[in-house]
């Protein structure tokens, strides 16, 4: 058997803080810290410091505290931070930059477990003979996520593998966070204007509890790996072994999407964006599932140019592909048959109460959202997303009034968020994408009249 790599020192956290009171106290740092900074900022403005300088300084400090608290807690707190991080493209640059830096860290970094803990979990989940199957194991985690961390290892057949290990106490912590964090909704509004944070937490609660069993994630990943096995564009690592709190998969590595967002060339960003759109829109047709955790930490560009995709704990089943209710609505909107669209929305449960939107107002509301579908290619940019977000959040405009006539049936809520967050990442990439072509290829019923 090969050697087991060890740290010379025992550094790390013993476990996720589990107690409700302890975790709530940590989450309470966020509003208290924000209030303190607001008071200090007011004092500096009175003293003559410019509002822009004060706002930038407050945003940087708030971002630092957000990362420290959510990263330390992991669990649902960190998961919420990751979910919100994709929407920073909708926020003006001078406010979003500090949050972008802090939340990008959430996508890859968190305080690690001690090596002794890691080995104990492996003993419990894979049996004490796991060292016979894993010939080499690096105690230093290669990556960390909301409920687990990943170690690089060598399987007994010589393959490099990723060993994903759930944090002790992650199940209790996750449930505790998701019960408590909704009250902090106002603090996260700057990162996702117009987003119903409470509904987001409800969605996360429903899906995140499923993620606690890595056997379910392994089944999801096997399905995606089979479907994309021969794809020249997408690479899904195969599952090697799984247990409730440990999963072993093939190791893949490449340029993280967060790095391409931060410093990639226009060609690199457009290439990554096209592959991401291809993966998101083809999955329902090929797998009858859709990957719902669309933050940049789950994607990378491999040396051969393919998109590597990881973390299949959160998926939504879509038997038969995209729901016909949704594709019919898109088809009617693209065809500008707004009267028929209103009737179909009412039948499908997308209108709140008996009040229907005005036809002209609905046309104006949908115009920016339909732009990517009306041409073969479209440039997704921060400027475009910021303009759309500002338009829909202006309570004086018809768009705001129109939005209040809508509702989202529960069965479509997660799918809606997947599509919205995918577009948000495309805007982070600031990329030109053959989006219309991809939609026509994989969801033709949405645009063919």
Residue 52 CA to its chain's centroid (Å): 30
Residue 49, pLDDT score: 47
Query: What would the two tokens of residue 313 be?
Result: 């704990």
pLDDT in tens, the chain (449 residues): 333 333 333 334 444 544 445 555 555 554 444 434 444 443 443 444 444 443 445 555 655 555 555 555 555 555 555 555 555 555 555 555 555 555 555 544 456 788 999 999 999 999 999 999 999 999 999 987 667 899 999 999 999 999 999 988 877 766 666 666 655 555 555 544 445 556 656 666 666 667 788 999 999 999 999 999 999 999 999 999 999 999 999 999 999 999 999 999 999 999 999 999 999 999 999 999 999 888 888 999 999 999 999 989 889 899 989 999 999 999 999 999 999 999 999 999 888 777 788 899 999 889 988 999 989 999 999 889 888 877 776 667 777 788 778 887 877 878 887 888 899 899 999 999 999 999 999 999 988 75
CB 249 within 8 A of CB 221: yes
Q: Which one-letter DSSP state was computed for residue 8?
A: S
Q: Which one-letter DSSP state was computed for residue 446?
A: G
Cβ partners under 8 Å of residue 433, min gap 6? 270, 273, 274, 277, 372, 377, 378, 379, 380, 426
Strands 307-309 and 431-433: unpaired
Strands 307-309 and 234-235: parallel
Cβ partners under 8 Å of residue 362, min gap 6? 338, 341, 342, 402
Rounded Cα distance between 328 and 325, Å, is 5
Rounded Cα distance between 252 and 237, Å, is 7
Q: Counting every residue, how long is the chain?
A: 449
Question: Strand pairing partners for 164?
Answer: 150, 247
Q: At 210, is the secondary structure helix, strand, or coil?
A: helix
The residue among 85, 76, 88 whose CA lies nearest residue 106 is 85
Rounded Cα distance between 312 and 222, Å, is 9
The overall longest dimension of the chain from CA atoms, in Å, is: 71
Residue 393: its H or E element: helix 382-393
CATH of domain 115-168+212-250: 3.30.200.20
Instruction: Give the number of other CB atoms < 10 A from CB of residue 302.
Output: 14
Cβ partners under 8 Å of residue 170, min gap 6? 16, 74, 75, 147, 148, 212
Q: At 120, is the secondary structure helix, strand, or coil?
A: helix
CB 122 within 8 A of CB 149: no
pTM of the model: 0.75
Rounded Cα distance between 11 and 17, Å, is 16
DSSP assignment of 148-195: EEEEEEEETTS-EEEEEEEPTTHHHHHHHHHHHGGGGHHHHGGGSTT-
Residue 121, pLDDT score: 95
Task: Give the residue extent of every domain in the chain.
Answer: 20-108+172-208, 115-168+212-250, 253-449
Q: At 289, is the secondary structure helix, strand, or coil?
A: strand
The residue among 36, 233, 251, 293 whose CA lies nearest residue 138 is 251
Residue 193, pLDDT score: 46
């Amino acid at each position: 058997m090969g050697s087991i790599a060890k740290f010379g020192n025992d550094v790390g956290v013993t476990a996720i803080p589990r107690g409700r009171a302890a975790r709530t106290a940590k989450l309470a740092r966020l509003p208290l810290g924000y209030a303190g900074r607001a008071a200090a900022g007011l004092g500096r403005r009175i003293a003559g410091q410019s509002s822009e300088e004060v706002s930038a300084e407050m945003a940087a400090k708030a971002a630092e505290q957000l990362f420290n608290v959510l990263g330390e807690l992991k669990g649902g707190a960190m998961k919420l931070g990751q979910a919100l991080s994709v929407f920073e493209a909708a926020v003006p640059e001078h406010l979003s930059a500090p949050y972008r830096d802090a939340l990008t860290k959430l996508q890859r970094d968190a305080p690690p477990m001690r090596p002794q803990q890691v080995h104990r979990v492996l003993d419990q989940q894979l049996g004490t003979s796991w060292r016979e199957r894993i010939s080499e194991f690096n105690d230093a985690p290669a990556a960390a996520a909301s409920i687990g961390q990943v170690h690089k290892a060598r399987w007994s057949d010589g393959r490099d593998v990723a060993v994903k290990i759930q944090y002790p106490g992650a199940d209790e912590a996750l449930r505790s966070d998701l019960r408590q964090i909704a009250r902090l909704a106002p603090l996260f509004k700057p990162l996702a204007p117009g987003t119903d944070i409470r509904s987001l937490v409800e969605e996360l609660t429903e899906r995140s509890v499923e993620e606690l069993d890595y056997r379910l994630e392994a089944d999801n990943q096997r399905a995606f790996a089979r479907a994309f096995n021969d794809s020249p564009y997408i690479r899904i690592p195969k599952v090697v072994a799984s247990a409730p709190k440990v999963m072993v998969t093939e190791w893949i590595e490449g340029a993280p999407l967060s790095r391409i967002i931060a410093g990639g060339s226009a060609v690199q960003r457009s290439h990554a964006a096209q592959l991401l759109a291809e993966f998101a829109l083809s999955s329902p047709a090929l797998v009858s599932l859709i990957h719902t955790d669309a933050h940049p930490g789950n994607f990378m560009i491999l040396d051969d140019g393919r998109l590597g995709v990881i973390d299949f704990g959160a998926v939504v089943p879509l038997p038969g592909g995209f729901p016909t209710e949704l594709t019919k609505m898109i088809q009617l909107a693209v065809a500008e048959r707004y009267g028929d669209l209103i009737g179909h929305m009412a039948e499908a449960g997308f209108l709140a109460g008996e009040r229907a939107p005005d036809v002209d107002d609905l046309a104006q509301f949908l115009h920016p959202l339909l732009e990517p579908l009306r041409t073969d290619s479209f440039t997704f940019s921060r400027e475009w997303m910021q303009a759309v977000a500002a338009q829909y959040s202006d309570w004086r405009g018809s768009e705001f009034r129109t939005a209040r006539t809508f509702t989202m049936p529960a069965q479509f809520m997660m799918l809606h968020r997947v599509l919205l967050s995918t577009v948000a990442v495309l805007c982070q990439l600031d990329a030109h994408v053959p989006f219309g072509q991809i939609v026509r290829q994989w969801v033709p019923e949405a645009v063919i009249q």
